[in-house]
Amino acid sequence: MSEQKKNDRAGWFEGPQADCSALPGDTQSPWRLVLLGAPGVGKGTQADLLHKNLGACHLSTGDVFRAAGSRDACEQTPAMKAAIEYMRRGELVPDTTVWEMVRERSGCIRCGGGFILDGFPRTLAQAEALKGYMESESLSLSAVVNYELPLAEIVARLSGRRTCEKCKSVFHVTGKPPRHEGVCDHCGGRLFQREDDRPESITVRLEAYERSTAPLIRFYTDLGLLVSVVAAGSPDEICDSTLSSLHALTSSGDHRTLV
């Protein structure tokens, strides 16, 4: 039996003119999820694990921004060009531009295999835009997972990270230490602590996150879609808690916190 071709998510990374090399098969009840959670709670890791368990594509807006910056100008859509200009000036990309980049990838939102949105929406305006679009396409979200972790644990996670200046590999002083202190295992480059991983910077980032996310929590709670999961334990344990909570929500209509 030939090996199934892996979905390269080209439609998400490259935009509306690209076709994925292999798409997840249409399912009767595809999972359409939004992941929320402060920096450091492990949303990306959980998105990958949920993809493996549920089949839905992991769609990260951070990946879209990074991919846009690496493409030739002639291959960038107007929304990509606008986003890159904001980022080059060190400014936040406005809601309208972020939404336009997601809307350009509407095929990924409509995909019969479902999706796991990571990094979007981040504001109430973005959430309302997504809701309006999905309603116009007769689609509905399955759930919104909010990963929670005490501030002190988030600071410990992020402040312990060290990044290779050459290959950008990431280590952790206690969770994933390099074989030799300060030296990358992969390329021998110097490991350093990013400015935004310093405790004082982390606190500012988390305060900003809480301000922007509080309205989202209320919005999705009112819609009966919020699932809160404490992001403590191993990645597999957190994923198991998430899956249990998702199945409980879809079967009963309730939302709950799992520890």
C-alpha–C-alpha distance, residues 37 and 231, integer Å: 9
Identify whether the C-beta of residue 228 lies closer than 8 Å to the C-beta of residue 255.
yes
Contact call for residues 148 and 91 (beta carbons, < 8 A): no
Considering the domain boundaries, does residue 24 fall inside one?
A: no
Strands 161-164 and 170-172: antiparallel
Annotated catalytic residue, options 32, 105, 161, 162: 161
Catalytic position from the list 9, 43, 157, 162? 43
Cis peptide before 150 (omega within 30 of 0): no
Distance CA 48, CA 235 (A): 10
Domain carrying residue 77: 11-16+29-149+214-258
Position 257 scores a pLDDT of 38
CATH at residue 220: 3.40.50.300
Contacts of 238 (CB under 8 A, 6+ apart): 42, 46, 147, 229, 231, 232
Instruction: For CA atoms 20, 24, 27, 29, give the dihedral sign.
Output: negative
55 found inside a domain: yes
Active site residue 32: no
Catalytic-role residue among 166, 194, 218, 256: 194
- Decide if 127 is inside a domain: yes
Active site residue 194: yes
Residue 26 has pLDDT above 80, yes or no: no
Give the model confidence (pLDDT) of 209-248 as tens digits: 888 899 999 999 999 999 999 999 889 999 999 999 999 9
Residue 49 in any domain: the answer is yes
Q: Is residue 94 part of a domain?
A: yes
Question: Is pLDDT of 161 > 60?
Answer: yes
Q: Quick check: is 179 catalytic? A: no
Bridge-based pairing of strands 191-192 and 161-164 is antiparallel
Sign of CA dihedral 46, 48, 51, 56: positive
Q: Which of 32, 122, 157, 162 is catalytic?
A: 122
User: How many Å apart are CA 140 and CA 119, to the nearest integer?
Assistant: 18
Tell me if 154 is assigned to some domain.
Answer: no
Tens digit of each residue's pLDDT (9 = 90 or more) over 167-198: 888 899 988 899 999 999 999 999 999 888 89
Is residue 124 assigned to a domain?
yes
Residue 66 a catalytic site member: no
With H, G, I as helix, E, B as strand and everything else as coil, classify residue 63: helix
Helix (H) or strand (E) run with residue 200 in it: helix 199-222
Degrees, nearest 5: CA angle 168-189-89:
40
| Model confidence band, residue 2 (pLDDT cutoffs 50, 70, 90) | very low
> pLDDT grade, residue 76 (50/70/90)?
confident
Q: Which residues contact 159 (CB under 8 A, 6 or more apart)?
A: 193, 197, 198, 199, 202
User: Given a cut of 50, is residue 40 above it in pLDDT?
Assistant: yes
The pLDDT, as a whole number, for residue 219 is 97
Render the burial of 210-230: b for 16+ CB within 10 Å, e for the rest: eeebeebeebbeeeebbbbbe
* Overall pTM surpassing 0.85 (yes/no): no
Q: What is the pLDDT of residue 205?
A: 85
Size of the chain, expressed as the number of residues it contains? 259
43 is catalytic: yes
In the chain, the N- to C-terminal Cα span, in Å, equals 41
Domain annotation covers residue 174: no
58: three-class secondary structure by DSSP:
strand
Contact of 142 with 27, CB cutoff 8 Å: no
Strand, helix or coil for residue 164: strand
Candidates 71, 131, 198, 205; catalytic one:
205
Domain count of the fold of the chain: 1
